[in-house]
A and B are shown apart, each in its own frame.
Chain A
């Protein structure tokens, strides 16, 4: 009954990619897992996403990219989060991301990448395990 945090996550679509079905499916899965999900909608710049993530005080930011611009967009988001002093927000990615890019992204600060076909309950289980509401 006393203060108990609920997990807040953001699902964002950076860049020109116009395919949002995956993002919407994930958003629903997160809701069914008991999280509060803020969905930003399509065509967001990294700046807009980071501002929104800060205003919404989310614990995790999930970036969805199917148009191939992830090697620019994801690191740019991480860079901006650091600039704004919000590096405690866990960043994950999903979408069409080649294996060879995954390692690079992870060493750049993306905590995990979920490629197509990953079962939804695996994803939500990962989030529960690795993302805690901030202290």
Chain B
């Protein structure tokens, strides 16, 4: 029996821009029904190569991505870009300004650029970003670039969803690099010193090299040692070399006897499943007890002292699973 595909799914696979844009919005806003579409799309994912670009605000990530897109297009590849900017913790709003640096690609139908706000999730990547990556993948993009705000430990998030992660710094970060948590240095596949025409490049270079070399044992046995590149994104210098290193890394992941490409995928899947299960639990339990008023009753009981919060929680969990949806 032929299974009829959801019309949205068909449009996405056909590369319909409006459908893709709307689906990403629906995912972001948590609209019902996206789950069904994402299920249908999933078998169509897995072809795109995913690159994570992360670094502190102001290092030139967007300009770098803009140039990367240009060169990738010259190579005949189609590109999807997700540019993530922070949501204001005060107003809940966000200024999504990465697109400014990439607007020259907006009329190129081989490029799809979408700006996303973190919406209160402090990590660089959320489940909705991951799903958006899947959508761009299913849509047929050869490469998906995810640009995130990276401050410290948050970079780690990007890694689990990307094949290659590029960490961008600028010269003069000197002492900051020393102080940077091990997180970044552990997870960067490629390091880029952008704005390399500035003073302090040599010191930043040697600082980074020192930190990477410190752990020589890690690279024994032909393991990938993160290269450090210098770029001047604004002048399109070094970008081609960066893309070459990403290609090298891709080859390494493919050829490596330990099946690193598959391991990366497993990490991404692990993160996804944890987030998804958490989200579903919230939907299945928390929302139901809130909607049915049981939650408010529990709050009253605990506040008035008739029950402790731990026991109240146990009871809520039980009620949550017992309440039928829509009750």
Contacts and interface: CB of A to CB of B under 8 A. Distances in A.
B73 to A, nearest CB: 15
A3 B287 CA distance: 12
Contacts, number: 103
Interface stretch (B40-48, B95-103, B236-244): B95-103
B115 A56 contact: yes
A33 B30 contact: no
Interface in A36-61: 36-41, 44, 47-48, 51-52, 54-57
Interface residues of A, number: 34
A86 interface: yes
A76 interface: no
Nearest to A27: B95
Interface in B84-108: 87-88, 90-97, 99-101, 103, 106-107
A55 B22 contact: no
B191 interface: no
A31 B94 contact: yes
B100 A56 contact: no
A114 interface: no
B113 A37 contact: no
Contacts of A34: 91-93
Contacts of A133: 29
B25 A35 contact: no
B268 interface: no
A55 B21 contact: yes
Given A33-B91, A33-B93, A55 B114 contact: yes
Given A39-B97, A56-B114, A48 B107 contact: yes
A32 B88 contact: yes
B70 interface: no
- Which of B21, B24, B115 has the most chain A CB atoms inside 10 A of its CB? B115
Interface string A68-95: 0000000000000000111000000000
B185 interface: no
Nearest to A9: B93
B324 interface: no
A100 interface: no
B103 A30 contact: no
Nearest to B28: A6
B286 interface: yes
Contact of A5 (B29, B32, B87): B29
A34 B88 CA distance: 8
B21 A3 contact: no
B287 A1 contact: yes
A16 B24 CA distance: 32
B286 A1 contact: yes
A121 to B, nearest CB: 13
Interface string B69-92: 000000000000000000110111
A4 B120 CA distance: 14
- Which of B24, B29, B119, B282 has the most chain A CB atoms inside 10 A of its CB? B29
Contact of A35 (B30, B93, B97, B287): B93
30 contacts: A1-B282, A1-B286, A1-B287, A2-B32, A2-B283, A4-B29, A5-B29, A6-B29, A6-B117, A31-B88, A31-B95, A33-B91, A36-B94, A36-B117, A39-B95, A39-B96, A39-B99, A40-B99, A41-B99, A41-B100, A41-B101, A41-B103, A44-B103, A51-B106, A52-B99, A55-B21, A55-B112, A56-B21, A56-B115, A86-B18
Given A2-B287, A6-B92, 17 more contacts: A1-B286, A4-B29, A4-B30, A5-B29, A5-B31, A32-B90, A34-B92, A34-B93, A37-B95, A38-B96, A38-B97, A40-B100, A41-B101, A52-B103, A55-B17, A56-B99, A84-B18
